[in-house]
Structure 1
């Protein structure tokens, strides 16, 4: 099946399934899909049924949803379109990282393969988008997964922020003000496990700053030595 054979809605579902499973590391519940897409559970159930009939997802009754091999391949095509669109909007059109998601959602459906190839070339074949999310290559391969979160870092440890979940623009703006963006190196002054607030320091901040552990749990990190630079 070709990507163009699917409706925009079906494309969005496949992309959402991949994105949610990418963060959770497993299968996705229909209720989680409904929250992510801001849709009624009944609408999500209907679309999942159609995708199941097309052989693009596996869904046991009352169970979670998983992409089939064909569904995964198509989902990665959509993820590639979306993340290259976000990178293009930021680097070439001056969008901020909290602005790119909504317009990339529109642009991804209008892209031809030729346009996508040209954008990829102009950008220098990036492997991560403005939020540090990995951009699938044209053949569907991905950079190595980074699964460690900022809440895993210990007191006194210095780490590089590699990836930030981009679902809430207000959180992205907050992190921007703090200087807690992909590529930044921070040191854990206090992990704040008992109070739910971490205290961090960085070269871009004159003073240590607080960060909710709930937010920190959506930030992926790498060690300072041998880190992956999300800007390349």
Structure 2
């Protein structure tokens, strides 16, 4: 009597194990295959994006360069190349690789998804600016075309992403790159920032830590061999050569002046009063809407009332209420003492 029961238990156990491994769509083997296909899809799409952006800048790419970019070698890299050729997305000649027409169209769809998602993060979330790119790098591979169009409509069909890069149209049109470097301009000129390159990440982080953002108007004070001194919102900033090569400018006709006493709110001492002049363009999305909801708008009276241990956050009185703001937020509010 015991043996049949043991056989039944053994049979059920084997059945359960086989189901776990071989169940269609959701079994471990199916999930493994899906993961493998998904990873290959990511490598193909990353290849297309890299090739398109290189060709956009009129650069020729070798197989070695593509391998280095993907961080893939050997048989795995050969499989990626085979897939690109098999799908008619790229042509390989000797040691060079370039996109086909079909490959360019596919690449533009990925770039469009990436830039629309970055714009969405900037306008609709409180995710840190330094994390937009890495978040979009993941999302660009999973969003469907209909999801992308729904998001694009929600954020008002923008023409540019938050870094100033043009967003390809649904039909695959992309405006030519425009903009000038610092060294085209003379000392004393007033210019507008129209693009900030978000790679390498470390350089981008150093730029945004200075509250420098796309759309900001700056005065060029001094141009040196290895650095440039600028004035932004009444504050002097020195930019090293590694930073200035990642910033693109355009000339504007009208100079923008700020009162001599203009300071970031974070510099307003306890017990002092001020008037809000502006909220910097680098303050976007939910963070900006939160400040507006508090009544922090140009012309509002504001004072520093409370300093916490470590002086961050601080309590500010505006329109009869006390509002707690972190210093990195208060830095983006320009005020004038009264």
TM-score under structure 1 normalisation? 0.81
Query: What's the counterpart of residue 131 of structure 1?
Result: 163
Query: What's the counterpart of residue 230 of structure 2?
Result: 200
Q: Is the 8 A contact 1:158 1:185 kept in 2?
A: yes
Post-superposition Cα deviations, 1:154-180, rounded to whole Å, max 9, x if no partner, equal 333322111111123332222122232
CA 1:172 to 1:67, structure 2 compared with 1: closer, same or farther past 3 Å? Answer: same
For these two proteins, the number of residue pairs brought into alignment is 217
Structure 1 stretches of 5 or more lacking a match?
none
Q: Is 1:176–2:208 an aligned residue pair?
A: yes
**Divergent runs of 4+, >6 A:** none
CA 1:30 to 1:214, structure 2 compared with 1: closer, same or farther past 3 Å? Answer: farther
Post-superposition Cα deviations, 1:58-101, rounded to whole Å, max 9, x if no partner, equal 333133x3222111111000000111111112211222221111
Query: What's the counterpart of residue 16 of structure 1?
Result: 50
Query: What's the counterpart of residue 10 of structure 2?
Result: none
Q: Is the 8 A contact 1:31 1:41 kept in 2?
A: no
| CA distance in 2 between partners of 1:35 and 1:221 (Å) | 31
Query: What's the counterpart of residue 245 of structure 2?
Result: 217
Post-superposition Cα deviations, 1:1-27, rounded to whole Å, max 9, x if no partner, equal xxx9x82221111112223333x3333
Query: What's the counterpart of residue 115 of structure 1?
Result: 147
TM-score under structure 2 normalisation? 0.57
> 1:7 is paired with a residue of what secondary structure?
helix
Q: Is 1:55–2:88 an aligned residue pair?
A: yes
> 2:141 is paired with a residue of what secondary structure?
helix
Query: Which one has a larger percent strand, Structure 1 or Structure 2?
Result: 2
Q: Is the 8 A contact 1:134 1:142 kept in 2?
A: yes
Structure 2 stretches of 5 or more lacking a match?
1-37, 255-280, 285-338
CA 1:48 to 1:115, structure 2 compared with 1: closer, same or farther past 3 Å? Answer: same
Which protein has greater RCO, CA pairs closer than 8 Å, 6+ apart? 1
